Structure 1
């Protein structure tokens, strides 16, 4: 076997290994998500459906059902669990849609975090205005960076019949997309820490509110950044994994 053939075989094995990992992660994530829905559906009907219509209710329900829909679609088709062949155009459209949905769900998550921090700061007007502007700036930056990343990646995206999923012929390093999210969540953690320092009794309130939720969001964003910068994975799966996992654990911390 020539060196070039051996190299191609090694690359194929590495990609297959990554694909299998992604499929297992997708199946596990979807299972956890659906299990969470079953456990909390009765509470949702009692507490959410009967509540008056507010922006928080709409955002919660959007997050509640948009994420599972996306995860089901990815697990069934883009994770290679069906025999339906897709066109390259579909893969490109899906990438664009997935990036947009990912951005929306992350923004919703962080919006709920921001609302909690405002309460923690006794709805201080200056704090609200400054953090709201920072929220808008960071998420606008994230969307712009994501769109630039899509523009660079979309022409390398195609359907791979061998693996039955969408893949990239070349990999673009877009880990920088997560940096604005890291900055925002880090600021929220600092704001909570400062409040605890100024008012120690606030710590008990944070514990009751589920401080692990905030730490989880930050840790997951940090993990995504590391994965994007270091991983070999060339497939589409995982690009929108954060909203699903942050919603699962975040919802159960509420």
Structure 2
């Protein structure tokens, strides 16, 4: 590389590093802020599928990303083979955790539609079809991309020598978010009477926030994978991984907190009604 090309690559590498570190720090900061709610609402609850999925993305993602940051920031020296193996493992783990986040968001949509059977079947089929498409796209991409993964000794990090078909990894997820966002928006327009309820306002707000955040960041990754220089292709990958994890855990905790608040309000209403009826009967 000549001096100008080296300077450009170095700038892109450092931009990717800073973006990844920023996403990780934000995720850990949010984890610290919400840890008391996690203990109260999640750890104290019985073991269910949503609880298990929540804890997987809550703790597996930080563990995987911190290992990525070690190689991304040049703190270790790897071989080309280590980079190839780790790239495949992390890509699979990324798809799995994003799928978990999408499923938790899907359960949120079901609650908004009062668990309508037809909607649950249709969206479940959409979710399964999206994951099958993700697996196909991921497999196709990894077969072509793995050979281009190597360890760059100049910057002490794993890099790509050819983008191949990296962009298609994000395509099924973008399509899924568009459909889910449309369903959420349609529900908000077609059933406005429910917006008078504080609990449902929180559901809508967090649902829109989650879908928008994931859609925008994943769309950014899709665009970068096609048009960005190879040295900038990792700019948004770890940031979106941390951001989606932070957003979906916030979604689950907010909904759980509001559900407890709503249950307490209903209990107080019933208790007041019981006391009133008891006084009435004495009279």
Of 212, 223, 228, the match for 1:226: 223
Q: How many aligned residue pairs are there?
A: 246
Q: Aligned to 1:201, what secondary structure does the other structure show?
A: helix
How far off is 1:241 after superposition? 3.7
Matched, 1:30 2:28: no
Distance in 2 between residues matched to 1:249 and 1:72, nearest whole Å = 19
Residues 171, 234 of structure 1: 8 Å contact kept: no
Scaled by the length of structure 1, the TM-score of the pair is 0.90
Distance in 2 between residues matched to 1:202 and 1:227, nearest whole Å = 39
Scaled by the length of structure 2, the TM-score of the pair is 0.81
How far off is 1:54 after superposition? 0.6
Residue segments in structure 2 that go unaligned for 5+ positions in a row? 255-283
How far off is 1:14 after superposition? 1.7
Of 51, 59, 62, the match for 1:57: 51
Structure 1 residue aligned with 2:266? none
Residues 150, 161 of structure 2: 8 Å contact kept: yes
How far off is 1:240 after superposition? 4.3
* Correspondence 1:1-254 to 2 at 5 A: 8-80=2-74, 82=75, 84-203=76-195, 206-209=200-203, 210=206, 211-234=208-231, 237=234, 238-253=236-251, 254=254
Distance in 1 between residues matched to 2:233 and 2:211, nearest whole Å = 27
Residues 99, 239 of structure 1: 8 Å contact kept: no
Larger helix proportion of the pair: 2
How far off is 1:177 after superposition? 2.1
Distance in 1 between residues matched to 2:193 and 2:4, nearest whole Å = 58
Distance in 2 between residues matched to 1:223 and 1:236, nearest whole Å = 10
